[in-house]
Amino acid sequence: MKKHDSQLQQNVLQELKYEPSISASQIGVTAKDGIVGLTGNVQSYAAKYTAVHAAERVAGVKAVAEELKVDLPAYHVRIDEDIARAAINALQWDVWVPADRIKVRVEDRWITLEGEVEYKYQQDAADAVCNLTGVTGVTNMITLKKPEVSPSEVKTSIEQALRRAAEIDADKIKVSVVKDKVVLNGKVSSWAERQEAEGAAWSAPGVNEVVDYLDIAA
């Protein structure tokens, strides 16, 4: 293993150990050319979700390939009906989620979400069901409505948002818009900066797809 890969592996391991909500001792980590692999068992889907995002925020990580298995302890096992009821309640109580527009389906403890919302943050907020006891996976198939906004207005909104962001070097990012699709090109210094740039793109009204070609500097 190259020295850089070995250091990245250790940094990810340390980040996982630093994350109090997961048991890092059950997770194996590999690293090669900025691509991190996660293997092993976790006791909840929430832990799996957290482990992946913990790895993503480490400097130098370009992508995460996860093969983590959710191995529920006996006291966390729930039937699909109970999980569905809990998911519906969670969505109804979430201030960011228009629950009346979302349908919940549960099969073998795996939740599938369907429906249509106006903004990306509403789509993402529905992922909170991943924290429910007994869940082994979540598939978010919620789509975004297409408001009448011109591509030039979308492009201007995103470029202004990038310039306002403290953690983003907007001069290194090129934004192009075709209909409701945004394409980002350029270079960023970290995965966190890349995610922030994506978030800025998704926040613009009228965006239904973001294609991220941003490279993370070595």
At 63, which CATH number?
3.30.1340.30
Q: Distance between CA 186 and CA 197 in Å, rounded?
A: 11
Q: Which of the listed residues 44, 71, 98 is the one where a domain comes to its end? A: 71
State how many domains the chain has.
3
Mean pLDDT across 108-128: 93
Phi-psi region of 14 (alpha: psi -120 to 50; beta: other; left: phi over 0): alpha
Could you tell me if 81 and 36 lie in one domain? no
Reported as a single tens digit per residue, the pLDDT across 6-62 is: 999 999 999 999 999 999 999 999 999 999 999 999 999 999 999 999 999 998 898
The predicted model gives 57-75 an average pLDDT of: 93
3-state secondary structure of 62: coil
Let me know whether 53 and 84 are in one domain: no
Give the residue from 20, 84, 56, 79 showing the smallest Cα distance to 188. 56
Same domain for 36 and 12, yes or no, is yes
Which domain covers residue 136, as residue numbers?
Answer: 75-144
Q: What is the mean pLDDT of residues 58-80?
A: 94
Q: Which of 144, 159, 186 is the last residue of a domain?
A: 144
List, as own/partner pairs, every contact residues 114-119 make where C-beta atoms lie below 8 angstroms and the sequence separation is at least 24, other chains included: 114/141, 114/142, 115/142, 115/143, 116/142, 116/143, 116/144, 116/145, 117/142, 117/143, 117/144, 117/145, 118/144, 118/145, 118/147, 119/144, 119/203, 119/205
The helix (run of H) or strand (run of E) holding residue 209 is: strand 209-216
Structure pTM? 0.73
Lookup: tokens for 72? 């529920």
Do 135 and 95 share a structural domain?
yes
Gap between the Cα atoms of 132 and 216, Å rounded? 33
Residues 56 and 86 reside in one and the same domain: no
Per-residue model confidence as pLDDT tens digits over 159-185: 999 999 877 888 899 999 988 889 999
